Amino acid sequence: MTDPTARKAENEKPDATVQQTPNPANPKPYVMPDDPQDEQADPLVAAQREAAEYKDKLLRTLAEMENLRRRTEREVADARTYGISGFARDVLNVADNINRALSTLTAEARDAADAAVKSVLEGVELTERELIKSLEKNGVKQFTPQGEKFDPNKHQAMFEVPTADVPPGHVAQVIQSGYTIGERVLRPALVGVSKAAPKPAPASDNSQPSGAGQ
């Protein structure tokens, strides 16, 4: 026979399927359910997930825009610095021709020249200096690596020079100066690279020891 008291307690037990009303005095934190069916039942869950997706897309877009801005600034700076590289190379040919023309004259020929020729020479030398200054103003700088350690990134070896005056592997002679533009090599310097001078052959001793042949 069933106990009436037990039957009453069983009837008063709360149904697990019925959602209990939260206590306003002790609210519990809202937990987003993982079940998609809960999102359909709760519009707040769907709104929170959609907001999180939009936030992620916004952050990704902002990061891409920042990368694009930095890349554009770098490309603009490179274009401003290196955009004249082709023109600068053509101007270097003019500077080389002026330098060759001046180097053909010896000191004796300069001293023997009359006043008119000396004036022409001074004008050509002034033109060469102004040309070099104009190149430097636009970021093109000349370098002469005499005595420096050979660097294949900046120097072009034309021949080897056996010498004891310069350590092996260093620039012993500069045939043509090099130029840089910004941080890049516009034209390498043409150089002769030193190598160890051959050691003199030991002197042969042809003298015979005393008493030989006796």
CA distance 61 to 192: 55
More confident residue, 1 or 90: 90
User: How many CB atoms lie under 10 A from the CB of residue 140?
Assistant: 23
Confidence of residue 7 (pLDDT cuts 50, 70, 90): low
The string of DSSP codes covering 188-213 is PEEEEEEEPPPPPPPPP--PPPTTTT
Q: Above 50 in pLDDT, residue 19?
A: no
The domain locations on the chain are 37-82, 86-138, 140-196
CA distance 182 to 140: 7
Q: Above 70 in pLDDT, residue 124?
A: yes
Q: Above 90 in pLDDT, residue 145?
A: yes
How much is the average pLDDT of 141-161? 94
CA distance 126 to 103: 14
How much is the average pLDDT of 6-10? 53
Q: Above 80 in pLDDT, residue 28?
A: no
CATH superfamily of 140-196: Head domain of nucleotide exchange factor GrpE (2.30.22.10)
How much is the average pLDDT of 174-190? 93
Question: Residue 18: what pLDDT?
Answer: 45
Question: Residue 42: what pLDDT?
Answer: 78
Question: Residue 16: what pLDDT?
Answer: 45
Going by the DSSP 8-state scheme, the letter that residue 144 receives in this structure is -
11 contact partners, CB below 8 Å, separation of at least 6: none
Residue 57 structure tokens: 């897309």
